Amino acid sequence: MPKIDVDTIRCKGCELCIPACPKKVIGLSKTFSATGYYPAMMVNPEDCNGCRLCAFVCPDVSITVYK
Amino acid sequence: MEKVVFERTKGLTDIPMRYCPGCGHGVVHRLVAECFMELGVQEKTIGIGPVGCSVFADEYFNVDMIQGAHGRGPAIATGIKRCLPDRLVFSYQGDGDLASIGAAEMLHSAMRSENITIIFINNAIYGMTGGQMAPTTLLGMKSTTSPSGRTVAANGYPIRVCELLSAMEGPIYLERVSVDKPAAVVKAKKAIKRAFEYQLEGRGFTLVEILSQCPTDWHMTPLQAIEKIRKDLIPYYPLGIYREPQDDKRAKPKKVAVEKES
Amino acid sequence: MAERTLMKGNEAVAEGAVRAGCRFFAGYPITPQNEIPEYMSWRLPEEGGTFIQAESEVAAINMLFGASSVGTRVMTSSSSPGISLKQEGISYCATAELPIFYTNVVRGGPGLGNIAPSQGDYFQATRGGGHGDYRVIVFAPKTVEEMANFPRICYELAFKYRIPTMVLADGILGQMMEPVTFDFDPIDPSVFKTPDWALRGSKPEERRVIKSYDLRPGKMEQWNFRLEKKYDEIREKEPRYEAVNIDDADIILTGYGTAARVCESVMALGRKDGLKIGYVRPITLWPFPKSIFKELGEKVEKFFVVEMSLGQYIEDVKLSLNGKSEIYLHKRPAGGIPTGEEVLELTRKILSGDKLKLVA
């Protein structure tokens, strides 16, 4: 099952990955991360196809992609 | 079990980057790092950090780094490269660093065709110092030093670096790219890698200009900022190749540089 | 051993640097030091070194910042206005502890001034002309032979203490010719091991970083105190001076560089006339040789400073004497050359108790 793992220490909730994802998998978490941001997370995990586009645009290189 | 298809490059250190949320610097840092890793030259790379938001570059690039005076990256790179010709030397600079205070160093390192690569982040603003007008700030664009919008009368025309340098013999490879969307990021990485390859082949001066978003000092969200790149920056700073070696199979037949939309 | 050759000062300091292992020079044209880049433009390539005429003195010093960061022995040179342009870069080198070597062939100032010899850059050289608490080791030659031999010492101290070093000359020393015998054999820099701090492209775990900033609270302060420890050690171990006829002296004539030569000849003339004149000349302007002045201040009542400026070196003399003696100053700024006759005349007046305008 392809998926992404977001490093919530690095992620600053900038939302750039959200429109980058062709499958609308990503949204922002409702809970604060340790660094005080609403980090990105998979809101429709089943739709992820491991295409990596989210990781391409992430300014903090906080996304690891599995396929 | 899933396999990792994308992970953080070892070309970056583990230190979380302190750029503002959504800043383009972080993306470019990853691209530069992935390029020298994929070219297998991490232990032969020396990077120069500028003065500006990316003054902290020496903490992020996992290679030998030196941080130089504002605008002097090309001169520092010249000194290093002339002494260690087989190393990969890149000077990472913002628009104020390169095209304002460092304009002479930019022009003359290009004129001498120093065998270095300049990674030029064009975000049309001075970021670190809080949003002042840069030489690349667009006409009409507000900043803390052009509060009612940049005007020709008071502040002259924004500088198009790739076009400027393409009038010189020295540069070997000049390309303007952007990081506003995934496809653009892929192209940006190709450009950086190509510049590094040309340097490693000893061809001479290479520069990649990267249109990058600065949400904080453009006073907008990251998503609005990448939209601004498409709507405002790209029309004035057309993406494309402004100089490339003709003997490279990737080279398009020689024609005038990408026409600007009328 | 080394044969004696007639050399021009500018060429002597250039050859001295190459002979001492300099393999990178970046400079820019400015009178009266042009022979240095001209000489280097053909001499360095002979040794496989690099010569670059930079687009400005600012670019030149930053090329040095790069070249020295990989361990190369580097040099730049300029004259007064050009050295002013390099000050930011020099401050960076001092902070990043880079062992650069440079020469100021001082001309008349301030402003564009003229192209005549002068000593108007003493403060800039010894007080750090750039920003921040940093120091630079300053050697003041008085002969072309010293111009030739000082670069070797400068490089040794630069690399030993990881500090910028300079030769402070002037238009006379740069332009005149004198016989020179090198007191050292040519050094091939390949004998030097690349210093551990030098950049080269490293394994990630041995990654090297050279920089001059630290924004973390208290860190830059600590950095300054680290530099100060080095400066204190240099102040203690490295001052150099020359002193002649100081045991029976009624008056000490003092100056550096070209002005020191005038003091020396006045002493000789005066001695013939039975005038008990002593002579002191600092060879290092920083670290300043305080001790000899402190010592002489106890037993000699009058000091007569000769300077080709409005009086800058005199302040260090005053600081060292700490109010002990009467201090007189003969000043010929911006191309003015103090002649032996006029200085001897003034010395006679001082010795005869004529209260010339005392320096406040």
Concatenating the DSSP letter of every residue in B33-96 gives: HHHHHHTT-GGGEEEEE-SSGGGGHHHHBSSEEEE-STT-HHHHHHHHHHHSTTSEEEEEEEHI
Round to whole Å and give the CA distance between B190 and C51: 34
Cα separation of B102 and C88, whole Å? 14
When pLDDT is averaged across residues B182-203 and rounded to a whole number, the result is 98
C94 Cα to chain B: minimum distance (Å): 13
For C20-68, write each residue's pLDDT tens digit.
999 999 999 999 999 999 999 999 999 999 999 999 999 999 999 999 9
Cα–Cα distances in angstroms (integers) from residue A44 to residues A10, A41, B139, B182, in the given order: 21, 9, 42, 20
Taking contacts as CB-CB distances below 8 angstroms, the residues of chain C near B10 are 204
Q: With an 8 Å Cβ cutoff, is B15 touching chain C? A: no
* In contact, C303 and C326? CB cutoff 8 Å: yes
Q: What is the pLDDT of residue C304?
A: 97
Using the Cβ of B110 and the Cβ atoms of chain C, whether some distance falls under 8 Å is answered with no
Comparing CB atoms, the residue among B5, B19, B24 nearest residue A65 is B5
CB contact under 8 A, B65 and C65: no
Q: What chains are in contact with C, requiring at least 3 Cβ pairs below 8 Å?
A: B
Q: Which residue of C has its CA nearest to B102?
A: C59
With an 8 Å Cβ cutoff, is B62 touching chain A?
A: no
- A–C touching, 3+ CB–CB pairs within 8 Å: no
Within a 10 A sphere around the Cβ of B7, how many other Cβ atoms? Answer: 13
Task: Take residue C284 and report the two structure tokens written for it.
Answer: 């290092």
What are the structure tokens assigned to B21, written together? 């949320």
**pLDDT at residue C237 above 60?**
yes
Length of chain A: 67
Task: Flag whether residue B133 sits within 8 Å of chain C, measured between CB atoms.
Answer: no
Q: Is the pLDDT of residue B12 over 90?
A: yes
Q: Name the A residues in 10-49 with CB < 8 Å from any B CB.
A: 10, 12-16, 18-20, 35, 37
B21 and A12 within 8 Å at the Cβ level: the answer is yes
Nearest C-alpha neighbor of C125 from the set C333, C307, C286: C286
Give the CATH number for residue A8.
3.30.70.20
Shortest CA gap A27–chain B (Å): 13
User: From the list B2, B19, B22, which residue is nearest A67 (CB)?
Assistant: B2
Yes or no, beta carbons of B182 and A57 under 8 Å apart: yes
Q: Per-residue pLDDT for B257 more than 60?
A: no
Q: Which of B1, B4, B5 to mutate to test the interface with A (most CBs of A within 10 A)?
A: B5
From residue B13, how far is each of B6, B29, B135, B193, C61 by CA, in Å?
17, 11, 31, 20, 30
H helix count then E strand count, chain C = 13, 15
- The Cα-based distances of C158 to C102, C155, C200, C295 in angstroms read 11, 5, 20, 29
Pairing of strands A26-28, A40-42: antiparallel
Contact C69 B49 (CB under 8 A): no
Q: Return the beta strands (E) in B102-260 as ranges.
A: 117-122, 173-178, 206-211, 240-243
Please report residues of A whose CB lies closer than 8 A to that of B223.
Answer: 15-16, 18-19
The Cα–Cα gap between B91 and B76 comes to 8
Which residues in chain B are contacts of A16 at CB distance < 8 A?
A: 22, 222-223, 226
**Would you state the pLDDT for residue C356?**
79
Contact C330, C358 (CB under 8 A): no
> Quick one: average pLDDT of C138-144?
98
CATH number of residue B52's parent domain = 3.40.50.970
Instruction: Provide the angle, in degrees to the nearest 10, between the axes of the packed helices B103-111 and C57-69.
Output: 70
DSSP per position, C62-88 = HHHHHHHHTT--EEEEE-THHHHHTHH
pLDDT band, residue C1 (cuts 50/70/90)? low
Half-sphere exposure of B108 (CA within 13 A, CB side): 22
Instruction: Output the pLDDT for position B252.
Output: 83
| Cα–Cα distance measured from residue B60 to residue B14, given in angstroms and rounded to the nearest whole number | 8
Cβ-based contacts of C24 with chain B (< 8 Å) = 79, 82-83
Domains of chain C in start order, with CATH, are: 5-200+225-236 (3.40.50.970), 241-351 (3.40.50.920)
Residue of B nearest to C93 (CA): B68
Confirm whether B256 is domain-assigned.
no
Q: What is the CA radius of gyration of chain A?
A: 11
The pLDDT mean for chain B works out to 96
What would the two tokens of residue C149 be? Answer: 């031999």
Instruction: Say if strands C302-307 and C209-210 run parallel, antiparallel, or are unpaired.
Output: unpaired
Burial B200-226 (b: 16+ CB within 10 A, else e): beebbbbbbbbbbbbbbbbebbbeebb
Q: Is residue B197 part of a domain?
A: yes
Give C80 to chain B, closest Cα distance, Å.
21
CB atoms within 10 A of CB C184: 15
For the segment C321-339, the average pLDDT, to the nearest whole number, is: 95
The neighbours of chain A, by the rule of 3 or more Cβ pairs under 8 Å, are B
How many domains are there within chain A?
Answer: 1
Tokens of C260: 């020191």
pLDDT recorded at residue B180: 98
Q: What is the pLDDT of residues C247-288, one digit of tens each?
A: 999 999 999 999 999 999 999 999 999 999 999 999 999 999
Spell out which residues of chain B touch residue C62, defining contact as CB-CB under 8 Å: 68-69, 72, 75-76, 79, 105
Which range of residues forms the domain containing residue B148? Answer: 25-243
Contact in structure between C325 and C278 (CB atoms under 8 Å): no
pLDDT of residue B2: 83
CA-angle at B61, arms to B59 and B64, nearest 5°: 90
Do C66 and B42 count as a contact with CB atoms less than 8 A apart?
no
Count up the domains in chain B and report the number.
1
Q: DSSP letters along C281-304, please?
A: EESEEES--HHHHHHHHHH--EEE
Determine the residue among C62, C75, C197 to mutate to test chain B binding: the one whose Cβ has the most chain B Cβ atoms within 10 Å.
C62
Residue in B78, B79, B80, B129 with CA at minimum distance from that of residue B100: B129
User: Which structural domain range is residue A61 located in?
Assistant: 3-66
pLDDT at B261 over 80: no
For residue A65, give the chain B residue with the closest CA: B6
CA-based nearest distance B141→chain C, Å: 31
B20 part of a folded domain? no
The pLDDT tens digits of the residues spanning A8-34 come to: 999 999 999 999 999 999 999 999 999
Nearest CA to B28 out of B119, B161, B144, B134 is that of B119
Contact C66 B69 (CB under 8 A): no
- Sort strands C137-139 and C284-286 into parallel, antiparallel or unpaired: antiparallel
Helices (H), C300-355: 313-321, 340-351
- Which residues of chain A does B29 touch, with a Cβ-Cβ cutoff of 8 Å? 61
d(CA A54, CA B98): 30
The pTM assigned to this predicted structure is: 0.96
Alpha-carbon torsion, ordered A48, A51, A54, A55, to 10 deg: 120
Kindly list the residues of chain C whose beta carbon comes within 8 Å of any beta carbon in chain B. 23-24, 26, 50, 52, 54-56, 58-60, 62-70, 72, 74, 88-89, 92, 96, 199-204, 207-213
Contact flag A50-B21 (C-beta cutoff 8 Å):
no
pLDDT digits over C157-210, tens only? Answer: 999 999 999 999 999 999 999 999 999 999 999 999 999 999 999 999 999 999
> What residues in B contact A17, CB-CB < 8 Å?
none
Nearest chain B residue to A39 by CA: give it.
B21
pLDDT, mean over chain C? 97
Pairs of residues, one from chain B and one from chain C, whose beta carbons lie less than 8 Å apart: 128
Residue found under tokens 């420890």: C229
Query: Considering only CA atoms, which of C341, C22, C75 is closest in space to residue C187?
Result: C22
Q: Residue C286's CB: how many other CB atoms inside 10 A?
A: 25
Question: Which stretch of DSSP H or E encloses residue A3?
Answer: strand A3-6
Is B80 inside a domain boundary?
Answer: yes
Reported as a pLDDT band with limits 50, 70 and 90, residue C128 is confident
**Which residue of B4, B6, B213 to mutate against A (max A Cβ within 10 Å)?**
B6
Distance between first and last Cα of chain C: 51
Are the Cβ atoms of B82 and C62 closer than 8 angstroms? Answer: no
**What are the tens digits of pLDDT across the range B71-115?**
999 999 999 999 999 999 999 999 999 999 999 999 999 999 999
